[in-house]
Amino acid sequence: MFKAFVFIFCAFIGGNYAAKAIKARAYVFRASENWPSGPQESVGVVDFNQNGDTILVNGTIFGLTPGKHGFHVHQFADLSNNCLNAGGHFNPHGKQHGAPTDDDRHVGDLGNIEASGVPATTFQMADKIIALSGENNIIGRAIVIHQGEDDLGRGNQPDSKTTGHAGARYACGVIGIQEESDSSATMPSFALILFLPFINYLRQY
């Protein structure tokens, strides 16, 4: 009985007080047929910061042509084959493609970023659907910037409701943890102190 309790207790504190990501980052590379072998062209960085129930997204991308470019979280952390192996948009709930403000949208639908023609395109946005934990967790997935504009599902193209008709993939990067909360360092210790008398009692059985 004692061993069983200790196992359950450890699972409880591990599952409930594990460190959570509060910042994530993707280093973005130009789409390439030769990934990951050979030299790769770095074209920017995208940061994701937890702010309550909102994720703040900001980044800098180099080399975009003037105009709007589809900007999405894709399913897989595979940047090979001109970013095609990143798969489709991250869509765990099986919804149609839409705008970031739509109820019916992929989790990964972040709309467009707009380039003005200067070498570096900087942008920022906020989103309440993507997350750094839970079922909408984007950690370990890919961010993809497209060569064309996302029509947000409003176009009449055959792929408007799946990809936004955003065209080929210009660049992509894997989203990884940059910073975690320190809750795992304090809460398990506090929980252990509370349960210690009970653990000692169970040792008798």
Residue range 73-120, pLDDT digits in tens: 999 999 999 999 999 999 999 999 999 999 999 999 999 999 998 999
Residue 184: pLDDT band (50, 70, 90) is very low
Helix (H, G, I), strand (E, B) or coil at 129: coil
Which residue in 69, 72, 105, 165 is the catalytic one? 72
Domain that holds residue 130: 22-182
Q: Please give the pLDDT value at position 197.
A: 43
Q: What integer is the mean pLDDT of 45-62?
A: 97
Which residue in 146, 150, 151, 165 is the catalytic one? 146
Buried b (16+ CB within 10 A) or exposed e, 112-147: bbebeeeeebebeeebebbbbeeebbbeebbbbbbb
Residue 1 in domain: no
How much of the chain, in percent, has pLDDT values that exceed 70? 79
What type of residue is 64?
L
CATH classification at residue 126: 2.60.40.200
Q: What angle do CA 157, 114, 165 make, to 5 degrees?
A: 15
Residue 183: pLDDT band (50, 70, 90) is low
Q: Please give the pLDDT value at position 25.
A: 98
More confident call, 58 vs 189: 58
Which residue in 89, 105, 141, 165 is the catalytic one? 89
Helix (H, G, I), strand (E, B) or coil at 113: strand
Average pLDDT score over the chain: 85
Domain count, the chain: 1
More confident call, 203 vs 55: 55
Which residue in 25, 30, 141, 169 is the catalytic one? 169
pLDDT digit string, tens, across residues 6-34:
333 333 334 444 567 899 999 999 999 99
Q: Please give the pLDDT value at position 181.
A: 81
Q: Please give the pLDDT value at position 71.
A: 99
Whether 89 sits among the annotated catalytic residues: the reply is yes
Q: How far apart are CA 23 and CA 158, in angstroms?
A: 36
Q: How far apart are CA 49 and CA 39, in angstroms?
A: 30
Which residue in 109, 127, 150, 151 is the catalytic one? 109
Whether 72 sits among the annotated catalytic residues: the reply is yes
Q: How far apart are CA 204 and CA 126, in angstroms?
A: 55
Residue 187 in domain: no
Largest alpha-carbon pair distance within the chain?
74
Residue 4 in domain: no
Residue 160 in domain: yes
Whether 165 sits among the annotated catalytic residues: the reply is no
Q: Please give the pLDDT value at position 196.
A: 39
Whether 104 sits among the annotated catalytic residues: the reply is no
How much of the chain, in percent, has pLDDT values that exceed 90? 73
Whether 169 sits among the annotated catalytic residues: the reply is yes
Bridge partners, residue 186, by sequence: none
The residue to which tokens 């991308």 are assigned: 61
**pLDDT for 190 beyond 60:** no
Q: What angle do CA 89, 113, 116 make, to 5 degrees?
A: 150
Residue 167 in domain: yes
Residue 156 in domain: yes
Sequence-ordered strand ranges (E) for the chain: 21-30, 42-51, 54-62, 67-74, 109-115, 120-127, 142-146, 169-180
Residue 129 in domain: yes
Q: What are phi and psi of 7, to 5 degrees?
A: -60, -45
Residue 3: pLDDT band (50, 70, 90) is very low
Whether 93 sits among the annotated catalytic residues: the reply is no
**pLDDT for 41 beyond 70:** yes
Residue 56 in domain: yes
Q: How far apart are CA 147 and CA 4, in angstroms?
A: 56
